[in-house]
Amino acid sequence: MSSLLELRNVSKVYTKGLINAQPTVALRQMSLTLNEDEPTILTVAGESGSGKTTLAMLLLGFIDPTVGEILYKGKNIKSLTGEDRLAYRREVQAVFQDPFAVFNPFYKVDHLLTVPIRQFKLSKSKAETQDRIHEALTAVGLRPEDVLGRFPHQLSGGQRQRINVARALLLRPRLLIADEPVSMVDASLRANILETLRKLQRDYGVSIIYITHDLTTAFHIARSIVVLYRGGVMEAGDVDRVIKTPQHPYTQLLVDSIPWPNLDQQWGEHPIIAREAGGSDPGACPFMSRCPKAMDICKVRPPLYQLDRHQAAACYLHDKQAEVGDERLSDLLPV
């Protein structure tokens, strides 16, 4: 089986200057492989300063490893030239934390989406360009008529972030580096954007390296996880296994810091729905009795709704098909 991406013993050491240089080991002997034939979502999790962004910068070729090598389709990304380099530039895309910072405020969304198509000569006509843009916007759950013709400041943070994902998707990437893509997005839109990423992996065969400090979202979308601490890999493996039975004390600490809702607790005059649904099972979604779509998701990952009530909130708010009655969620779950 051929590899899409391979890190071989990669370390990155930053030095601050010539005098009194204090080296920082931002990444330490990291190795991992993503297979070309098995698009997957891999989470890289860790607290602030653990080396996550350094890893993203290395993978995108913005900085070079101090030791070790990074191979894309079997070739060291440092020595890529010509067609190979162009393919790597096109096929490895990124979505960053801040959906505000990426856009030039003077250009409309149309321009922002047309530029990459032009740069990589992906279309032969204006009509084809438009078709591609419409397809990409639709794939990320946006209606073209809602966003085209607008400036970035006329869009919500969630819309902007999805346009970032659409822009990456236009280039038909094989690998997406998503560095904290939902940390600056409203809680109600997080599940929506994470679901979009999952769709890219499932329907478009894009592998995703999802970088986060938030294990709840990692659990939501990833199949496997690498836990970083001070540049070193503490634990790695199947996401269910690592989060449910963490072996390393640092991972245990991260898992212990996940907020767990108390399903018996009442807020204001309204009892939480889990009560109404007879949901004494702590792993059950509080909205399960009235939300068919959530039930589907629950079958895949039952404890999702146990992890973070905001996740449940996001799911409810996002899911227009869910018939949960007229109650506003904010009446049921405090924000």
Ligand X SMILES: Nc1ncnc2c1ncn2[C@@H]1O[C@H](COP(=O)(O)OP(=O)(O)OP(=O)(O)O)[C@@H](O)[C@H]1O
Kindly list the residues in this chain that would bind ligand X in the complex (CB under 6 A): 14, 16, 24, 26, 46, 48-54, 213
Q: Which two tokens stand for residue 332?
A: 């049921």
76's tokens:
């060291």
Contacts of 179 (CB under 8 A, 6+ apart): 52, 53, 56, 94, 95, 96, 97, 211
Q: Alpha carbon of 1 to those of 22, 107, 200, 237, 248: distances in Å? A: 42, 43, 22, 19, 30
Sequence-ordered alpha helix ranges (H) in 171-308: 187-204, 215-221, 239-244, 249-256, 273-276, 292-300, 304-307
| Nearer to ligand X (CB atom), residue 211 or residue 298 | 211
What is the smallest separation between the CB atom of 217 and ligand X, expressed in angstroms? 14
Work out how close the CB of 54 gets to ligand X at its nearest, in angstroms, rounded to a whole number: 3
Alpha carbon distance 320, 102 (integer Å): 29
Alpha-carbon separation of residue 299 from 83, 245, 294 (angstroms): 44, 20, 9
- For residue 15, with 0-12 CB atoms within 10 Å meaning exposed, 13-18 middle and 19 or more buried, which class applies? exposed
C-alpha separations of 318 from 48, 62, 158, 190 in Å: 29, 35, 12, 9
Distance of closest approach, residue 257 Cβ to ligand X, in angstroms:
15
Identify the H or E element spanning 168. Answer: helix 157-170
DSSP summary character for residue 154: G
Confirm if 173 and 93 have CB atoms less than 8 A apart.
yes
In whole angstroms, how close is the CB of 317 to ligand X at the nearest point? Answer: 27
In this complex, which beta carbon is closest to ligand X, that of residue 23 or of residue 249?
A: 23
User: What residues contact residue 293 under an 8 Å CB cut-off, 6+ apart?
Assistant: 319, 321, 322
Smallest gap from residue 230 Cβ to ligand X (A):
8
Nearer to ligand X, 68 or 205 (CB): 68
What's the closest the beta carbon of residue 64 comes to ligand X, in angstroms?
Answer: 13
The distance of closest approach from Cβ of residue 48 to ligand X in the complex, given in angstroms and rounded to an integer, is 3
CA dist., res. 237 & res. 242, Å (int): 6
Of the two residues 24 and 29, which places its CB atom closer to ligand X in the complex?
Answer: 24
Q: Which is nearer to ligand X, 142 or 182 (CB)?
A: 182
Nearer to ligand X, 54 or 224 (CB): 54
* Shortest distance in whole angstroms from residue 6 CB to ligand X: 20
Three-state DSSP at 64 gives coil
CB of 318 to ligand X, least distance (A): 26
Closest CA to 137 of 120, 119, 161: 161
Cβ closest to ligand X, residue 26 vs residue 263: 26
Nearer to ligand X, 28 or 174 (CB): 28
CB closer to ligand X out of 26 and 274? 26
